[in-house]
């Protein structure tokens, strides 16, 4: 399916994939947790990306109530 997301670099230099349409079923949050655990173990680095890893963040750009 199509996903509305942004790709950027976080403060540590890792790629940060930010999903912008929430996570109704919790799948993306589980993926984010897995990548975080791998980073903590030193297993989330790709040599041909300059030893950068991947991190996942989930936001709901349409959830205006929690922003107030």
Q: What is the pTM of this model?
A: 0.80
Distance CA 49, CA 15 (A): 9
Distance CA 44, CA 3 (A): 23
pLDDT digit string, tens, across residues 4-63: 999 999 999 999 999 999 898 999 999 999 999 999 999 999 999 999 999 999 998 877
- DSSP per-residue codes, the chain: ----EEEEE-TTS-EEEEESB--TTSHHHHHHHHHHHHHHTT---BGGGTSB-EEEEE-BTT--TTT-
């Amino acid at each position: 399916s199509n996903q509305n997301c942004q790709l950027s670099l976080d403060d540590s230099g890792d790629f940060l994939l930010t999903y912008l349409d929430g996570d109704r079923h919790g799948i993306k949050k589980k993926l984010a947790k897995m990548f975080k655990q791998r980073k903590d173990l030193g297993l989330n680095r790709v040599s041909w990306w300059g030893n950068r890893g991947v991190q996942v963040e989930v936001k709901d750009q349409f959830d205006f109530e929690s922003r107030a």
